[in-house]
């Protein structure tokens, strides 16, 4: 049976990867540093010796690297930590994959592009606007250099069943709808994003691995996936309010480009033709995915309100 090691296995995408691969007959070893649940192995990826020892012990046929230092604002304040996680760890895993002759899939991001001329093709020259995008691009390069024939999958902003609303930059917006701050709040209606459900991304990771197993010499390099519905933060909030009948009068749209803070791409749409040529691609409609992901939080809020009423 095919043995798969998945890093970041307790995270939003990692949980979906573990579930999908297990349900499709793979033997899965999930690695996680924090929030370790039953069935996952505790490991600090930054401990290179421990990482090498554990991966050699597990002898995987496939390594999927989904762990990352991914919050752009935090990355800007911790450049050394970001490079250790987003560049050095991928290099170690690439060296291990080459040593063990294992397939390697590295999860990257649309933030490797500047968002100026979408859709961005897989072979376009990256031009990241922030350190997060830069370190993920360097992680791509380390992966492809130290394990020729490996796979890179660039994905957009992700959402899905979250353990807490701030786990995704999509679902975090729902928190302010449920508990609006005094005086209301403003969200951007400028930068365009293409959210993808982690269920889709996990399935496509598995399909990409399976395609490569059938054609190791023909399927390799950089692939991209993107959601199909363009949104801004403000239009996301509008959709969430409409789905759950929540008031929106305390939310206002900001259409002025930011003059400070971490720079982000204006329109990060990715071309997905590489995956589609392989017959890979699936899409949970955004409204459906948002409803599934946010319903437990809406019901919890309603229950709390009911319990507090006379």
How many CA atoms are closer than 13 Å to the CA of 166, on its beta-carbon side? 3
Residue 2 contacts residue 62 (beta carbons within 8 Å): yes
Over residues 227-285, the pLDDT tens digits come to: 999 999 999 999 999 999 999 989 999 999 888 788 999 999 999 999 999 999 999 99
* Residue ranges covered by each domain of the chain: 3-162+195-228+267-285
What is residue 185's predicted lDDT score, i.e. its pLDDT?
87
Instruction: Please name the residue that has the structure tokens 């971490």.
Output: 262
- Counting runs of H as helices and runs of E as strands, what totals does the chain give? 11, 11
3-state secondary structure at position 65:
strand
Which is the catalytic residue, given 132, 159, 194, 234? 132
Instruction: Please name the residue that has the structure tokens 């995008």.
Output: 133
What are the E-state strand segments in the chain? 3-7, 27-32, 40-42, 62-65, 103-109, 151-155, 158-159, 185-188, 196-197, 221-224, 251-254
% residues pLDDT > 70 (the chain): 96
Q: What is the CATH number of domain 3-162+195-228+267-285?
A: 3.40.50.720
Residue 103 contacts residue 97 (beta carbons within 8 Å): yes
Of 76-80, 115-119, 126-130, 304-308, the poorest mean pLDDT is in 304-308
Which tokens go with 257? 């480009």
What is residue 305's predicted lDDT score, i.e. its pLDDT?
57
What is residue 165's predicted lDDT score, i.e. its pLDDT?
95
Over residues 17-75, the pLDDT tens digits come to: 999 999 999 999 999 986 667 789 999 999 999 999 999 999 999 999 999 988 888 89
What is residue 307's predicted lDDT score, i.e. its pLDDT?
59
Q: Could you confirm whether 234 is annotated as catalytic?
A: no
Over residues 133-173, the pLDDT tens digits come to: 999 999 999 999 999 999 999 999 999 999 999 999 999 99
DSSP string spanning 105-173? Answer: EEEEEGGGS-SSSSSBPTTSPP--SSHHHHHHHHHHHHHHHHSTT-EEEEE--EESS-SSGGGSTTTHH
What is residue 259's predicted lDDT score, i.e. its pLDDT?
80
Q: What value does the mean pLDDT take over residues 121-132?
A: 96
- Check residues 45 and 310 and name the one with the higher pLDDT: 45
What is residue 300's predicted lDDT score, i.e. its pLDDT?
86
- Check residues 200 and 38 and name the one with the higher pLDDT: 200
């Amino acid at each position: 049976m095919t043995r798969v090691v998945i890093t970041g296995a307790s995270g939003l995408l990692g949980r979906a990867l573990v579930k999908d691969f297990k349900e499709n007959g793979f033997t899965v070893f999930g690695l996680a540093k924090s929030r370790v649940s039953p069935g996952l192995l505790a490991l600090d990826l930054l401990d290179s010796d421990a990482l090498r020892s554990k991966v050699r012990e597990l002898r995987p046929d496939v390594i999927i690297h989904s762990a990352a230092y991914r919050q752009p604002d935090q990355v800007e304040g911790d450049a050394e930590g970001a490079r250790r996680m987003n560049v050095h760890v991928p290099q170690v895993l690439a060296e291990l994959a080459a040593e063990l002759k294992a397939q390697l899939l590295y999860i990257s991001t649309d933030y490797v592009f500047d968002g100026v001329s979408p859709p961005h093709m897989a072979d376009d020259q990256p031009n990241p606007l922030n350190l997060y995008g830069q370190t993920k691009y360097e992680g791509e390069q380390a992966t492809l250099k130290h394990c020729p024939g490996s796979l890179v999958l660039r994905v957009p902003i992700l959402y899905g069943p979250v353990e807490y609303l701030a786990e995704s930059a999509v679902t975090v917006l729902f928190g302010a709808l449920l508990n609006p701050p005094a005086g209301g709040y403003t969200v951007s209606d400028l930068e365009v994003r293409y959210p993808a459900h982690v269920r889709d991304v996990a399935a496509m990771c598995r399909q990409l691995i399976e395609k490569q197993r059938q054609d190791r010499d023909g399927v390799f390099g950089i692939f991209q996936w993107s959601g199909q519905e363009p949104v801004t933060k403000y239009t996301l909030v509008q959709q969430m309010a409409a789905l759950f009948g929540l008031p929106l009068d305390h939310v206002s749209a900001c259409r002025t480009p930011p003059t400070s803070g971490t720079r982000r791409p204006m329109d990060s749409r990715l071309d997905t033709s590489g995956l589609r040529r392989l017959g890979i691609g699936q899409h949970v409609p955004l409204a459906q995915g948002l409803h599934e992901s946010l319903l437990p939080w809406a019901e919890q809020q309603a229950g709390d309100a009911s319990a507090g009423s006379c």
